[in-house]
Copies of this chain bind each other. A is one copy, B any other.
Amino acid sequence: MKSLNGESLTTPRTIIKLDENDCREIEDVVVRETTLTVNVNSKEMATLVCSPRDQVYLAVGFLCAEGVLKRREDLRTVNLDVERGAAYIETNPDLELTDKLVVKRCITPSAGCGGTSISTTIPNPPPPISSQLKVKAETVLKLAAELQQRSRLFKRTGGVHNAALAQGEEILIFQEDIGRHNTLDKIHGQCFLEEIPRDDKMIIFSGRISSEILLKTARMRVPILISRSAPTDLALKLAEDLQITVLGFVRGKRLSIYANKERVIL
């Protein structure tokens, strides 16, 4: 699937897919995740995590939404450097730019580096996880079903995200929050304060697995990450580097294994 400006929005990946009848290796596609650094008058403003499409619209629209650009004549030039993942915007010199523009939606890994190991580009990267933990596919399905069961009431009213910390077949901590990332941070905070070890446990998560979610799991030292939703390509590169097992689209009797399959007993 190609975008208007020629960049593919997805990338092929060999995964293991399990359903009621079958378990096989298939060629699938995962969604691409990239970053765009927005520079205004040679000053770095923000790094956005995004799909590789319509980056000029994104950079300009972000500055409109932040209240930086108000009238069409405020904008002099926009240049996009696809290779570097950066947009360079020059505004009308009369435009008052506040120094207090917040840096938003940043992630720590620099996606535009093009190196072989994405984790080496993270400042202060967590080491790989060498846990010997294994999990049965049927346990993964049970845990995902329980996450959904527990979240049903609140979901009806809110459309929130959920995450749980599990050991074996048991959910030890359950969190829900309007912020996808907060659910993991809350689990991490509780584990830190109560000194709960994590290298023998799993995370079950309702949301998509972006690089930031993967990195949160790595810093929590949890070796297995299970989601009802999809992972991005960048998250999977990190998962390989940091030796985290990633399962996605875990729903009903189905699941897909995206990275470090050796921890899953089929």
Q: A residues touching B (Cβ–Cβ < 8 Å)?
A: 1, 9-10, 28-31, 33, 48-51, 53-54, 56-62, 64-65, 67, 69, 72, 75, 100, 102-106, 108, 123-124, 126, 153-154, 157-160, 175-179, 181-182, 184-193, 195, 208, 210, 215-216, 219-220, 229-230, 232
Question: How many copies of this kind of chain does the complex include?
Answer: 2
Bound CA–CA A1/B126 (angstroms): 37
User: B105, A103: Cβ atoms under 8 Å?
Assistant: no
The 8 closest A-B pairs by CB, nearest first: A61-B189, A31-B158, A57-B189, A61-B185, A61-B188, A60-B189, A159-B230, A57-B186
Across the two chains, which residue of chain B brings its CB closest to A180? B180
User: A29, B189: Cβ atoms under 8 Å?
Assistant: no
User: B50, A177: Cβ atoms under 8 Å?
Assistant: yes
10 A-B pairs with CB atoms under 8 Å apart are: A1-B157, A29-B157, A31-B160, A54-B175, A56-B189, A57-B187, A60-B192, A104-B105, A105-B179, A178-B232
Q: Per DSSP, are chain A's interface residues mostly helix, strand or loop, or mixed?
A: mixed
State whether A159 and B229 are in contact (beta carbons under 8 Å apart), knowing that A50-B179, A153-B1 are contacts in the complex.
Answer: yes
State whether A190 and B104 are in contact (beta carbons under 8 Å apart), knowing that A158-B230, A178-B49, A178-B50 are contacts in the complex.
Answer: no
User: A61, B158: Cβ atoms under 8 Å?
Assistant: no
User: B65, A188: Cβ atoms under 8 Å?
Assistant: yes
State whether A69 and B192 are in contact (beta carbons under 8 Å apart), knowing that A1-B153, A30-B157, A178-B31 are contacts in the complex.
Answer: yes
Bound CA–CA A266/B58 (angstroms): 35
Q: Which of B64, B159, B160, B177 touches A220 (beta carbons < 8 Å)?
A: B64
Instruction: Write out the residue numbers on chain B whose beta carbons fall within 8 Å of the beta carbon of A123.
Output: 100
Bound CA–CA A106/B123 (angstroms): 21
Instruction: Write out the residue numbers on chain B whose beta carbons fall within 8 Å of the beta carbon of A30.
Output: 157-158
User: A178, B229: Cβ atoms under 8 Å?
Assistant: no
Bound CA–CA A61/B188 (angstroms): 5
User: B192, A64: Cβ atoms under 8 Å?
Assistant: yes
Across the two chains, which residue of chain B brings its CB closest to A10? B157
Q: List 20 other contacts, CB 8 Å, given A61-B184, A75-B193.
A: A9-B176, A10-B158, A30-B158, A48-B182, A49-B179, A50-B177, A57-B175, A58-B177, A59-B189, A61-B185, A61-B188, A62-B185, A64-B219, A65-B216, A65-B220, A72-B192, A72-B193, A104-B104, A104-B105, A104-B106
